[in-house]
Amino acid sequence: MEVLYPCCCGWDVHKNSITACVLWAEAKGAVRKQKRRFGTFTPERLSLADWLHACGVTHVALASTGVYGKPVGNMLEGQCEIVLVNAPHLQAVPGRKTDQKDSEWIADLLQPGLWRGSFVPPRGTRELGDLTRYRVSLTEECNRIANRIQKVLEDANIKLASVATDALGA
């Protein structure tokens, strides 16, 4: 199969660890690989980024499961291209039982470009989405508190809602 990315990496990301496998395409179809495991604290993630840079990795593929890959992906933004693999596609193939085998398999399919990555919006759009979701949750919390205050007043036999449209207004 034609090699699209001569130096790429596959990740198996978990809550407490990241298993990475770097593949280098060499002459006559030979492939050299190196696997390492990293923790998820900042110094270990920085060590992972340094290792990938030293290896010359241009593309990284990881499964889109949970939020565990976000901090590392954000840290590598601009250093290499990140391909976010749809988790059900990754789990559809049986037989891989270890993190090392998973990371190698992800890298094996990334090298010829067989993974189709999920859409990841630009950083500004992601940050705006985070702020918007936070604003919605704060608004919902304000409404819950206002309803709770009105219920306490009703329980105390104060019918403020009967004479005012907004119990918390002026």
Q: What is the pLDDT of residues 131-146, one digit of tens each?
A: 999 999 999 999 999 8
Domains and CATH numbers, the chain: 7-110 (3.30.420.10), 123-163 (no CATH)
User: Which two tokens mark 106?
Assistant: 């992800």
Query: What is the rounded distance in angstroms from the CA atom of residue 46 to the CA atom of residue 138?
Result: 34
Helix, strand, coil shares, percent, the chain, to 5: 45, 20, 30
Side-chain-side CA neighbours of 59 within 13 Å: the count stands at 24
Q: What is the mean pLDDT of the chain?
A: 86
% residues pLDDT > 70 (the chain): 91
The CA-atom distances, in angstroms, between 138 and each of 62, 84, 135, 151, 169 are: 32, 30, 5, 20, 18
pLDDT in tens, 85-114: 877 666 666 665 677 888 888 888 888 888
Residue 65 has pLDDT above 90, yes or no: no
